[in-house]
Every structure is written in C-alpha cells, then in structure tokens.
Structure 1
Amino acid sequence: MNDPIPDGALFEGDAGRFELPLRQALVRLLRGPYVDGTGDAKLWQRILDRREDISAFVSELFLHLVIDEDRKIALLAPVEMDEPHTTPIAPRRPLRREETLLALRLRLLLERHAGTGTDPVISRAGARDILEEHRQPGAVDDKRLEELTDSSLARLLALKLVVPTELEHEYRVSAALALALPFTTIDEIPAYLAAIERTDAGSVPLDEAPSAASAVDDDLFEATETKENA
C-alpha cells in the first residue's frame, strides 16, 4: 500500500515548495514564447504578484523574467554569460533573412500604431509586398517569393509575434514584438534593414545591438546584425 502524499505535496516524491497555480504559471512561462496578460487576467496577476519568487526560480536556469506592464507581456530571456552550459535549455533556431526582415518591418508598424488605440494588422499580401521590396538583386522567381511569404508568416505565427484574426490571411502584430526587438528608437531599424539586405539567404545571428543588451532575446528568436555593442 502506498504511503499517503504529505500535505502540500502535489504528487508522490514532490520536493517542490510552490503551490499548484504558481507552478502552472512557471510552466506557461517556460513553455514560451511569452504570456499575454490580455488573454488571461488571473495568470497575469499571479505573475505580477509572485514576480520575486519566479525571478529567483528561473535564475537557477540562467533566465530572467521580463515584464512589460504597459503591454501586459511577460517572458523569460536568457542571461548573457560566457561560461559553458549556461545557454537556454531548448534554444530556437535563428530566424532566416526574410523572417527577420518581415519582423523588423512589423516592429516599425507596431511603433507607428502606439497610442492609437488600435492593433496593427498585416495581411499576407502586405507581407508579400514587404519581402518583394527587400528582394535580393537579380531575384525574379515569383514562386519562391510566395513560398518565402508563407514560411516567414508561419514562423512568426509559431513564435506568436503575429496572431490570426477572424479574417483569413490577416494577422495582428503582437505587442511582444516590442520586447523581442527592444530598440531605443525606431530610427535604428532602417540601418538594420539595410545590413540584412546585404546578407545571403541563410540565417545570420543578430546577437548584439547598440541600444540593448540583445536586440533579439534567444528565448523568442535570434535575428540578424553586423555591429558590435558600443
């Protein structure tokens, strides 16, 4: 006969100290890519109320809790360390060139909608137009452009940086994109776009940015860049 589970334990052999709701919040954060407080008010409030406990716990995994109370977005981002075995447990693959270009253009769109009270949206046709603007010199394969449009949108959808709307082929730009690309000013973005346009079709890591510890947190995605921190 099994021994009874001690009071406060959630399962046999449970050595944890957090209650079930807080553990569930940790799972949501660790699962990623972020928590949107507008979609779950109770979860959002729990993260705010227990931010110190959450921060202490995720620090053991070389992560830190990032909260944007204005946008109601919370996510876990990796700390910057040179020692081995300190990288994220399950790092995501870097964004490819076109995915990065689209993300940067949508970051501009998000900034321009700030304070309007409306959510910026992008259609598939609009995404295609953006990628067509940034085509590599000599690229004329329209079929390839269509494929890149679909794959780029699919990647941003998977990262929840864009989310579907009730209209087919129309997407809302998530406020989380502002945390994924935390530029001090949007005036910096055109220089990044120009740098990416000069890259080849492969993925190029954008680990550093002049305006932030990291232009793209690996917990969300890695993007592209050529500069070093000042």
Structure 2
Amino acid sequence: MNWSETEIENEGEGQAAPAPAAPAINKDTGALFLGDTGRLPAEARRALCQLLAGPSVDAQRQPTQWTALLRHEDAVRSLLCELFLELVLDRDGGIAFTRQADTAELDSPTLLRSAPLTFIESVLLLHLRQQLAEADTRGERAVVEELELVEAMSIYQKNVSTDQAGYGKRVAAAIAKMRENQLLSKLRGSEDRYEISPALKLLFSAEDVQTLGEAYRQLREGEPAPAEAEAAGEGADE
C-alpha cells in the first residue's frame, strides 16, 4: 500500500482526516525552532557559529557578529568552556577566535584540528607578523602588496628548491592559504594589495617572532630548510 497516494478516512464519514497541525513555536520561551532548548538569542548564536566555523570573528568584516559577541561574551565563553575551548578576544584589535583550552593533565577531546605549516607558509606568517608590528608602531593599517610578499619569500628559495617556477607556485599557494584563513584580506578596488589581520598578534607573540626570526636568519645563511615547520595553525575549519 502506498501511503502517499491513499487518503485516510474517518470511520463512518467517508472523508479524509485533516492533517495534524504543526506544533507552534513558543516565542515567549525564546525558542527559535521546534525542540529548541537553547538560551542564547539568535544574534549570539550566529556569532558563536562563526567562532566555531573559524577562523575568527573580525570587527571590520563581520561587524554584526562582533557586536553580538561583545554583548554576550560571558555566555559565549561559558558555552565554549563546555567544549574545552577558550575564547581569545582582542577588543582593541577587533578580532576574536577560539583555541583549545589548556586542560593540563585532564583527558579532554580535541575539537580544533591543527595543521603543520610548510616552511614557506611559516616564513610567510613570520614576515606578515613583522609587517603588522611595524605598522602598529606607526599607527597605521598593515597593508602589503603581493609582489612585495613574493620578493620577501625569494630569499629563502635556495633553502627549498632550485626550481624557480615551482617555488613561485608554492609561494602563491601560501599566500592563497593566508587569504583562505582570513589572515590576508584583499583591499577593495585592488587586485594585489592586502590588509594583514590583527589576529596574527594573538597567534604569534613577540617572543615567538624573535625565536622564529633567529631560526630563519640561520636558514638564510645557508642551512637547508625542514620539510615542515614546527609551528601549527589552529582553526575549526582546517
């Protein structure tokens, strides 16, 4: 019997029974959909989803979610703690993201996947972090040109490959990855100029920059580069 093609009749009436009415959403309880037991308003949930989707919530690119995050910061922090996650928020820089909480010896699951950076990606990140620090000193936005980035990476070619064309493709792929993870944002009206995300200040401390800088200085002097850098980037969508 095909239920989709057969009408269910009321006994003794010969008429099709009316379809049951869908349960109404009780807006007084704050429910946003059927079965919703959440307590956060819609704007805060959207900000939380953006944090979990990654890589960040940016005040410039996502002003609505940023405002909602600041308004409901305590509640969002509490929910992230339930998942063994920590909210990293820089009000002055206008950037926020999540990272695994330091649970010490507590056995806790890992939700954010870490991907090892290639040598080229790691030195590109270091260069961007240094450019960001210099721009902060001048009180300016950190803006770079793609050609400038390619030239900055060229000094490491001898440590990686003698194939200039192949190396250029790898540098282009590293720049594309920075864009994909919103660490570089193309400026409006420009095809080759980018703004560096202030999130790098939170990902790499001044001590990290100094340590990595020294390591890569030694590499520039002739030592071969490792296949992968020890640094790893965190993000829910990697």
Q: TM-score range by the shorter chain?
A: 0.7 to 0.9
Residue number in structure 1 paired with 2:23: 3
More strand by share: 2
What's 1:24 paired with?
46
**Partner Cα distance (2:212, 2:237) in 1:** 17
Could you tell me how far apart the structure 2 residues matched to 1:220 and 1:204 are? 20
Unaligned runs of 5+ in 1: 208-215, 223-230
Max Rg structure: 2
Q: 1:170 aligns with which of 171, 174, 193?
A: 193
1:46 to partner: Cα distance: 2.0
Percent identical: 24
**Partner SS for 2:152:** helix
For residues 1-230 of structure 1, what are the structure 2 equivalents within 5 Å? 1=20, 2-7=22-27, 8-81=30-103, 86-89=109-112, 91-137=113-159, 139-165=161-187, 166-184=189-207, 186-194=209-217, 200=225, 202-206=227-231, 218-219=234-235
Gaps of 5+ in 2: 1-19
Cα offset, 1:205, TM superposition:
3.2
User: Does structure 1 conserve the Cα–Cα contact (< 8 Å) formed by 2:58 and 2:66?
Assistant: yes
Rounded Cα–Cα distance in structure 1 between residues aligned with 2:225 and 2:211: 21
TM-score in terms of structure 1 length: 0.81
Tell me the TM-score normalised to structure 2 length.
Answer: 0.78
- 1:84/1:143 Cα in 2 relative to 1: closer, same or farther (>3 Å)? farther
Cα distance in 1 for residues equivalent to 2:102 and 2:51: 19
Q: Aligned-pair distance for 1:43?
A: 2.7
Structure 1 or 2: larger helix share?
Answer: 2
Instruction: Please say if residues 117 and 231 of structure 2, whose CA atoms lie closer than 8 Å, have aligned partners that are also in contact.
Output: no
Q: Deviations over 1:63-122 (max 9, x none)?
A: 111111110111111113455552125x15322110111010110111011142322222
Which secondary structure state, in structure 1, belongs to the residue aligned with residue 194 of structure 2? strand
